[in-house]
């Protein structure tokens, strides 16, 4: 179970066999970041607003809200929420414009998987595969979303027990926020980190998805105020070496 650090030879390994130690440190980091939240950040119902955005699009474009939420989630990787929203609207505008052409081609028994080679569709995301997936979602394909995107979709649909563990969320667990995009939890490591948020949320007394959203906003604020180039703990804690302690505990565990 590994968290890969991109552009580095460092791999952080997590093991359920050492869950108590991981939980102790990881949940502490999450709770300490949550305690840095302002009143507005704690009260902000981020996923409720995301749901309302999708609901408005569903009504405007005549799609089920589940389809819209899944399409929005598909276009979310490495994007600010505002950009994610713009991509979603563009995707819908393009799709609805070209839908009659799709239907005509489909009527000629052309395999539908050949319709998404970007012959007819412009990209609506920096990653080509996300563009293709977004169009496939709108067309009703069964599409593999991946752990993070699947969780984000469920959070948008207000399923609060799911936890969207993106790079920033995983960097909080590791005690860092500098260059958070370097961190990518994989497979079972994703589940370990998600469970840390669930445990911390239980201790605080809030829903896991809300805790993730609040700490995500706090971390973004700290990152911006410190120009994204500092260890998270050194921005506000007297224990800057805790990240070393954490990595030593989980390093090498299989």
**Looking at the predicted structure, is the pLDDT value of residue 177 above 80?**
no
- E strand or H helix at 204: helix 188-204
At 157 the pLDDT is: 98
Q: Which two tokens stand for residue 158?
A: 């207000």
Q: What is the arithmetic mean of pLDDT over 146-153? A: 95
At 85 the pLDDT is: 96
Break the chain into its structural domains and give their ranges.
Answer: 2-45+150-250, 65-144
Whether 30 contacts 200, CB under 8 Å:
yes
Q: What is the arithmetic mean of pLDDT over 13-34? A: 70
Q: Which two tokens stand for residue 72?
A: 């929005």
**Looking at the predicted structure, is the pLDDT value of residue 25 above 60?**
yes
At 227 the pLDDT is: 54
Lowest mean per-residue pLDDT among 155-159, 186-190, 201-205: 186-190
**Looking at the predicted structure, is the pLDDT value of residue 92 above 70?**
yes
At 93 the pLDDT is: 93
pTM: 0.79
Q: What is the arithmetic mean of pLDDT over 183-204? A: 85
**Looking at the predicted structure, is the pLDDT value of residue 228 above 80?**
no
Q: How confident is the model at residue 102 (pLDDT cuts 50, 70, 90)?
A: low
Only one residue has tokens 């990881």, namely 26
Q: What is the arithmetic mean of pLDDT over 45-64? A: 97
Q: What is the arithmetic mean of pLDDT over 225-250? A: 45
Q: Which of 112-126, 190-204, 219-233 has the highest mean pLDDT?
A: 190-204
**Looking at the predicted structure, is the pLDDT value of residue 61 above 80?**
yes
**Looking at the predicted structure, is the pLDDT value of residue 240 above 70?**
no
Which residues, in sequence order, are CB contacts of 233 under 8 Å at separation 6+? Answer: 29, 175, 239, 240, 242, 243
Q: How confident is the model at residue 242 (pLDDT cuts 50, 70, 90)?
A: very low
Of all residues in the chain, the percent with pLDDT exceeding 90 is 39
Q: What torsion, rounded to 10 degrees, do the Cα atoms 209, 162, 205, 17 define?
A: -130
More confident residue, 247 or 80: 80
Q: What is the arithmetic mean of pLDDT over 50-57? A: 98
**Looking at the predicted structure, is the pLDDT value of residue 214 above 80?**
yes
**Looking at the predicted structure, is the pLDDT value of residue 222 above 90?**
no
At 219 the pLDDT is: 82
Q: SS3 for 138? A: helix
């Amino acid at each position: 179970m590994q968290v890969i650090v991109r552009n580095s030879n460092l791999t952080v390994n997590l093991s359920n066999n050492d869950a108590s130690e991981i939980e102790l440190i990881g949940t502490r980091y999450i709770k300490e970041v949550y305690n840095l939240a302002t009143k507005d950040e704690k009260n902000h119902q981020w996923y409720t607003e995301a749901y309302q955005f999708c609901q408005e699009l569903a009504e405007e474009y005549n799609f089920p809200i589940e389809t819209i939420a899944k399409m929005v989630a598909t276009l979310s990787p490495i994007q600010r929420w505002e950009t994610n929203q713009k991509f979603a609207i563009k995707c819908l505008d393009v799709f609805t414009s070209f839908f009659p052409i799709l239907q005509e081609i489909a009527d000629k028994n052309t395999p539908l998987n050949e319709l998404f080679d970007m012959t007819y569709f412009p990209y609506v995301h920096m990653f080509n595969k996300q563009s293709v997936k977004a169009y496939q979602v709108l067309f009703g394909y069964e599409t593999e979303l991946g752990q993070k995107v699947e969780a984000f979709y469920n959070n948008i649909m207000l399923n609060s027990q799911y936890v969207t563990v993106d790079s920033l969320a995983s960097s909080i667990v590791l005690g860092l926020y500098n260059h958070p995009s370097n961190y990518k939890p994989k497979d079972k490591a994703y589940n370990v980190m998600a469970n840390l948020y669930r445990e911390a949320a239980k201790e605080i007394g809030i829903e896991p998805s809300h805790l993730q959203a609040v700490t995500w906003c706090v971390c973004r604020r700290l990152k911006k105020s410190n120009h994204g180039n500092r260890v998270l703990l050194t921005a506000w804690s007297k224990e800057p070496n805790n990240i070393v302690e954490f990595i030593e505990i989980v390093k090498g565990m299989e």
